[in-house]
Every structure is written in structure tokens, then in C-alpha cells.
Structure 1
Amino acid sequence: MPAPDVPFETQINKLWGHIRGLHVLHLIRTGADLGWFRLLAEAGDRGLTPEDLAAPKGLHLPFVRVWWKTAIAWEVLDPLTDGRARLAPHFDAILAKPGDPRFLLPYVIATLDHFQQDLATHTAAMADGAVRTFQEHGHAFAEAIGNTTAGLHVLMARRLLPEIEEARSALTDGGTFLDYGCGVGGLVVQVAKAFPQARCAGTDVHQDGLEQARRTVSAGGLEDRVTIHDGNEWQGETASIDVISMVEVLHEIPEDVRAEVLGHCRRLLREDGRLVILDETYPDDADLRSPEAALAVQTQFNEMTWGNVVPTAGQQATLLEDAGLKLIERSTIGGIFTLLIAAPRGE
């Protein structure tokens, strides 16, 4: 196949854009650390000046002005009159509203504090194939990952589960919910709050996550309705769960035990139960540049040295089929995530 006729300037500008992207993350981190996005969100359309940002903490005004002008240049801020600027459209939700499904600030922080360190090991890993699993990263890492998925937990509890008739009906009527791979407990707490009659549980094999999950449940005053199980020991009762969720978990399960894990889910589910998976789907080679594949490709590159493998659509379907589960629905959420809804086969 002949090389496409692409101007040289297009390619070099593309690389400059990637380089700028790293700088944008640091600019956002600085603004977050200093509380500026919260101040700008509170100011709304009237905006703020560099002096407004510098004054509360007595900051060095010349540097603050450079940050402010750069944020305008990179379209994080929009300029107003009288030397003011406001957050660009929707950046209040993206950078200043914890709990909003679109809140991406934790992902920026995790990228700089954790992912960047892993990416720096890739050169050596290409030679020796060394893997450092999720569980080996420690408590701070587990907490950071929990923060990055917090918006997805709200989305699952407040929108996706209520839109699944069987799940909504069961949980509203006091049914049972299990978050498989519950991490620090964010989703199981959100579901318990969204469905006050439901009996909820989470299970995980990561000890740091389990300890944090129990603290999360306790902080929410939900010990009487939410149980956290150590997945290294707990097996559960057959046909006892109405709804099982996996949020950003399937691709983190080692390939050699995925069939066993999904088989366990099938055993736990009631015959009219539902398994709800929110994750990425790795594209076929022809679709590597598809916008829908962007996050999956990034996740696979970022997490390959954790030992994670993002499955393709075909691999997902085979795993469910082999576990005795029937895929009822596959859809795309937010243009980048895959929602899979499955039920016990033979229902």
C-alpha cells in the first residue's frame, strides 16, 4: 500500500500537539493543587483575574499571570473583558465537580502520580517482559484508581442500573447486588444509596482495596446493608445474587482465570439475574484509529506492564458464552466505554 500523501507540517504539528498534551496535564495539576478551578467554578460567568487567583494565598503574581495566559491559550479558560477569564464550557464539571460522571481531574492526577512512573519502565520491560501487578502497586495507587472510576460508579448506580428493567425491579424490591472487583468500595456504596432497600456486597482480592472499602462503607454508615468479602476466601451461595457488576474489572482479571471468574458469576446469579459489565473493548487491527477505540488502546498501552489485557469483542462474547451466560445487550457509553448486559443462558 503506498504511503498516504500527508504534508510534513501535519505530522510535525501532530507531535507538537502530543508534547503540549503533557504540559496541559501539568497546568491542570497546578490549578487543581492551588484550588483555582473551584474558585473559577464558583465565580461562574463573571470570571476571575490573575490577581484574584494569587491573592488568597499570597502567590507570586508574575507566575500566576503566565499560568492564566497559558490556560487561555490551551482553551482551559476563556477570556472575558477587563482582564478576566472563566472556565471554558463544561470544564466546571470536568475539573471542579467531584462525583459528576464527567469529573476527570482524578485521572489527570493518577496519570502524573502513578501512570507516568509505569510508562517510564516500558523501555526495560520490552526486553524482559517484567510485570508489576495492580495489587503490587500499594495503597496510594489503589486509592488513586478508585478516584478515577468514581464518576463511573455514579453513572452505573444512578443511570445504567435504573435503565435495566430487571436490575431496577430486583434492587428496588430488596434484591441482592454484588460488585465483583469492588476496589475501594465506591460503587457498592453508590448502589446502596441509590437503592435503599437492596442488600449489597462487594468482593475483591486486593487487600489494600478491601481495607479501604470497609472504611468507605463505615464512613457511609452502611454496615448493616453492605458487606465486603475477601475474594481470596469467599465463594458465596449459588443462585443468591440478582445483579452483579464489573466496572473496569474484566480487563484486569488475568487471562488464565477469566473463565473461572465468569463461571463464578454465573453460579452466583439467580436464573433471572443480570451481569452488568462496563469496560473497554480492544479493537481489531483495522479499527485501531477509531475514536471508540481510543481509550481501549490507551488503557492497553498504559496497563500492559500490570499484566492486564483488554479483550476484543469476540473474546468478550466467547468468555460469556463459555461461562453459560447469554449476551443480551452490547452498547457504547460516552463514545469510549462498552456496556455488556448478560443473563444466565436458558432463561
Structure 2
Amino acid sequence: MKRRELLAMGAAALAAPAWVSAQQSAWPARSAIKLNVQYPPGGLVDTVARLMAPHLSTALGQAVVVENRAGAGGLVGTEFVSRQAADGYNLLVSHASVHVYATATRRKMPFDSVGDFTHMGMLVEAPMLLLVHADSPYKTLAEYTAAARTRPVNYGTSGVGSANHLYGELLKIEANAPMHTHVPFQGSAPAIQSLLGAQIDSVFDPVTTNVSTLRAGKLRALAVSTPSRMPAFPDIPTFAELGYPSLTGSQWLGLSAPKGLPAPIAQRLTALIPEILAKPDILAQLNELQTLPRKAPVLGNDFAQLIQSQVSTWSSVAKRANVEVI
């Protein structure tokens, strides 16, 4: 091969990284960015996505469009994003219900909840409540668990293998309450309706969808899964202060993308998370839902490690409780 040809090949090789870098620095320029939601319109994930989208659009100088890809309890939309190109044009509002609890309980998952994604950071958290009817004979968690040691106490959830189910089974184990009996429903809404009709004894459910019924006095919460009491509901004790610290946790939402997202894009999106969540209009709307960001943001690798840790924790709970979704 001639010396001139060798020099030309070397120059091309040196130019390639610069070309790639230029393409990345130009992001986003090609088209609208899709912010994928794995649930139908109207729920918490969809609401948070639509709060975030205009602020992301303004910050990035490109349209950000929310797309709903519902199905299989969030697996369809999450798998879709895991299989897209890692170019910054397909993002996901990731959810603990899929990335943690489904991973902990399903025999087989169509993706690796950590390895198949670039996780930029946690957006918000929704604590879990143990709810009873306003006229329930159980006034305290101690009365509730005492009853479940000797007679059936039925708790409703959004389905087998859900976060709600695992919280109920963990309480059953920790409280030594063998009669704490799971009643699965096709979603949280029918479970809550059954509780309002006094057809079941309790429901484990995130605070987000129950703010109005709590304030109206239709339901009472015996405990909440936050580390300390919620300012909006200071009379609700935490599981931890009642002797069940293992039930401290939440249903979180995060911002994720397919694995291999170029570092400059990932870093830019990660930096935007605390900026956007600190905006007064965002905080006001999230406060209404009682679904708030952490005071110390969990970002980047720390977020990925948190997901991995939670998967390990709840996989152990699922094994102890013999909960498996085939």
C-alpha cells in the first residue's frame, strides 16, 4: 500500500471520533424527543411526564412529546425503550413497579432493569399507605396485626407481584400474622372501591391516588412507608416508628434511556433533573399529589445502584413470601 493511502486512512481514523462528537454535541436537532410512558393516560406516570415535558423542551430547545405505550403492567413500554437506539431521542419515565417489583417477582423478564438502561436519576417518590375504611374496627396498626394473627384480615392490592402485594406479605412476615390474606384486583382503583364498600379490610396503595379520600374522611391510614411523617398528614404514623422499619420505601419514578446513551447526552439530562424539579410550578403540582422529589437528588450511577439494591431486597422478600409471577 502506498504511503499516501496509509496517510489518508490514518487521517480518516482520527477524524471519526470528532465526527461522532460533533453529532452528539448537536443533539437534539434531528427530531422531536419521545418521552415514553408505559401506562395509559391519566395516571401518575403520565401526569409526571406531562409536567416534565414542556420544561425539558424549553431547556433542550427541541419538542418533547409524551407517548403512551401501555400493556402488561408497564412491561410493554419499558421493553420498547430498552430496544431503541441510544441516541437520546427515546427516553422513559421509569417506574419502580417495573424496574424493581416486577423484576423481583417475575420468573422471566424481557430486559435487565439495570443493564439494559442508562438511568439518569430519580424524579419523585410516592409513599405507600395501609388504608382502612373510616368505620373500620382497626384504629391502629397494632390492633390490625393482632387481629391478623388469629383470624382472616383481607388486604387488597393492584395485583399479584405488585409493590402493594409485597408490602402486604412483608408485613405478614414481620408481624407474624399468618391470617393476613391477599386479595388481588385488576388495578388499584377496583381495590379502593371495594374498600370504600367495606368488602375488604384494607388496601396497600400509594398516597398519590388517595389524597382526596383521606382528606374527605372516607378512608383512614394506619401507617405510611416514609422515613418520617408526611407534613401534609402529620397524624399518620410511619411503619418504622411502629416497629416495622423494613416497610420503609416508596414507588419512585425516574428518567431513563436505552443502555449506551452517549455520556454528554446522559450528563446533560441528568443535570436537568434537579433544575426542573426545583421549579415552583412543578413543586406545587407535585405537592398536591404528595409525590415529591428527594431533598438530596439520586442521580446517575447512584440511581442505578439504588435500583439494583432494591431489586435484591425485594427479591428476597418475594422468595420468603413465595411470591412468583410466571
Same topology, TM > 0.5? no
Q: RCO greater where, 1 or 2, for CA within 8 Å and sep 6 or more?
A: 2
TM normalised by structure 2 equals: 0.32
Q: Normalized per residue, which structure has more helix?
A: 1
TM-score of the two chains, using structure 1 as the length reference: 0.31
